[in-house]
């Protein structure tokens, strides 16, 4: 038992050290900040460089702003990089009325953008965050310079929503320790490195009153994770838009890709073969090269 615990601790320390080295090399040190959006306090991570054009990142459901820690420093010298905790996630407020639709999250994003007086924004969202940035870009095209949607399109089928509800119920028991949760995540996210998983566990969990480790999330998030159609917003997007799709994922089928090409005159669709729902977790260097090329447009 002691050997396993020591090994786990060493792996965690190695991952944190690797992330720190990457951050140091890129010159990006982050700070945790908050913005009031109506009655809700929205947490965000800020990598500084406020005089540069903003790059705002929005995570997927259940995730947190710090799950971008492994990629955000790459942009810190060129952009004012910000990653937002959506309401009900991480260190942001829970909504007392359980309002958690994609449109609700987009409203919060607009509140943060307004509070920070951001314009000419590069938006990057993965999973549900990718839906949020599509809605925002359609609602506020004058504020957006580029859109990056990671393995997500304008549609969320009922099956995906139902699967999430089942998972939330299954995870209600929590975990005995962070090490136990980290070990489980390594098994279920085989392609994802500790540079992603360690901050996810470190910043995304809390200890419940009974001592169990649980996610920092409102269980009522399931009320907003419903079948969704966002085409009415996507049709209003005017900025260059990049969809990066995992080759093993079925979230954005060919029919949707074809419709996106017809709908958006400035769209780029790239499939990363063999990858799953979070390509930037599995092959971050290749993903960043795709984004860098796109941002030249």
Distance, CA of 141 to CA of 277 (rounded, Å): 26
Distance, CA of 294 to CA of 287 (rounded, Å): 11
Q: Which tens digit of pLDDT belongs to each residue from 77-111?
A: 999 999 999 999 999 999 999 999 999 999 999 99
Q: What pLDDT is recorded for position 28?
A: 56
Mean pLDDT of the 148-154 span: 97
Which of 175-184, 194-203, 221-230 shows the lowest per-residue confidence on average (mean pLDDT)? 221-230
Is residue 103 within 8 A of residue 76, CB to CB? The reply is: no
Which of 56-70, 162-176, 236-250 shows the lowest per-residue confidence on average (mean pLDDT)? 162-176
Please report, to the nearest 10 degrees, the dihedral formed by the alpha carbons of residues 91, 97, 100, 106 taken in order: -80
Distance, CA of 206 to CA of 175 (rounded, Å): 10
CATH of the domain at 59: 3.40.50.1820
158-165, long-range: CB < 8 A, 24+ apart = 158/227, 160/251, 161/225, 161/226, 161/227, 164/61, 164/222, 164/225, 165/222, 165/225
CA atoms within 13 A of residue 65's CA, in its CB half-sphere: 25
* Ramachandran sector of residue 15 (left: φ over 0; alpha: ψ -120 to 50; beta: rest): alpha
pLDDT at 206 over 80: yes
What is the length of the chain?
297
Is residue 204 within 8 A of residue 63, CB to CB? The reply is: yes
Q: Which tens digit of pLDDT belongs to each residue from 16-65?
A: 434 443 343 334 589 999 999 999 999 999 999 999 999 999 999 999 99
Is residue 219 within 8 A of residue 168, CB to CB? The reply is: yes
Q: What pLDDT is recorded for position 157?
A: 80
Distance, CA of 29 to CA of 47 (rounded, Å): 6
Q: What pLDDT is recorded for position 22?
A: 39
Q: What pLDDT is recorded for position 227?
A: 84
Distance, CA of 155 to CA of 151 (rounded, Å): 11
How many domains in the chain? 1
| 3-state secondary structure (DSSP) of residue 102 | helix
Mean pLDDT of the 120-133 span: 97
Q: What pLDDT is recorded for position 66?
A: 97
| 3-state secondary structure (DSSP) of residue 171 | helix
Mean pLDDT of the 264-283 span: 96
Q: What percent of the chain has pLDDT over 90?
A: 81
CA distances from 286 to 39, 40, 237 (A): 40, 36, 26
**10 burial level (CB within 10 Å; 0-12, 13-18, 19+):** exposed
Q: Name, in order, each residue with C-beta under 8 angstroms of 4's C-beta and a sequence gap of 6 or more.
A: none
Distance, CA of 91 to CA of 102 (rounded, Å): 19
Q: What pLDDT is recorded for position 53?
A: 98
The pairing of beta strand 31-37 with beta strand 121-126: unpaired
CA atoms within 13 A of residue 288's CA, in its CB half-sphere: 13
Mean pLDDT of the 186-196 span: 90
pLDDT at 222 over 60: yes
**Domain with 239 in it:** 2-294
**129 burial level (CB within 10 Å; 0-12, 13-18, 19+):** buried
The pairing of beta strand 121-126 with beta strand 144-150: parallel
The closest alpha carbon to 175, from 127, 209, 212, belongs to: 212
More confident: 126 or 12: 126
Q: What pLDDT is recorded for position 164?
A: 85
**Cα angle for residues 226, 232, 237 (degrees, 5° grid):** 115
Is residue 265 within 8 A of residue 239, CB to CB? The reply is: no
Give the phi and the psi of residue 205 in degrees, each rounded to 5.
-125, 165
* Reported pTM: 0.89
Mean pLDDT of the 230-249 span: 97
């Amino acid at each position: 038992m002691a050997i396993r615990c020591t090994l786990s601790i060493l792996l965690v320390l190695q991952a944190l050290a690797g992330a720190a080295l990457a951050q140091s090399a890129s010159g990006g040190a982050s700070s945790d900040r908050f913005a009031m959006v109506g009655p809700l306090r929205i947490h965000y991570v800020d990598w500084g460089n406020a005089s540069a054009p903003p790059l705002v990142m929005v995570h997927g459901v259940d995730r947190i702003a710090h799950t971008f820690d492994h990629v955000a420093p790459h942009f810190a010298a060129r952009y004012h990089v910000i990653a937002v905790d959506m309401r009900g996630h991480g260190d942001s407020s829970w909504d007392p009325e359980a309002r958690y639709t994609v449109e609700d999250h987009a409203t919060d994003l607009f509140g943060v953008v307004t509070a920070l007086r951001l314009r000419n924004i590069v938006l990057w969202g993965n999973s549900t965050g990718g839906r949020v940035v599509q809605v925002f870009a359609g609602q506020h095209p004058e504020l957006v310079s580029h859109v990056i949607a990671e393995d997500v399109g304008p549609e969320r089928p009922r099956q995906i929503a139902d699967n999430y509800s089942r998972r939330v119920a299954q995870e209600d028991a929590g975990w005995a320790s962070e090490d136990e949760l980290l070990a489980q995540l390594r098994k279920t996210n085989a392609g994802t490195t500790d540079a992603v998983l360690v901050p996810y566990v470190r910043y995304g969990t809390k200890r419940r009153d009974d001592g169990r480790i649980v996610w920092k999330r409102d269980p009522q998030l399931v009320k907003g994770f419903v079948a969704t159609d966002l085409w009415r917003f996507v049709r209003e997007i005017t900025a260059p838009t990049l969809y990066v799709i995992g080759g093993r994922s079925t979230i954005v089928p060919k029919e949707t890709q074809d419709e996106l090409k017809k709908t958006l005159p400035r769209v780029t669709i790239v499939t990363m073969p063999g990858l799953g729902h979070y390509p930037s977790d599995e092959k971050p260097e290749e993903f960043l090269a795709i984004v860098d090329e796109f941002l030249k447009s």
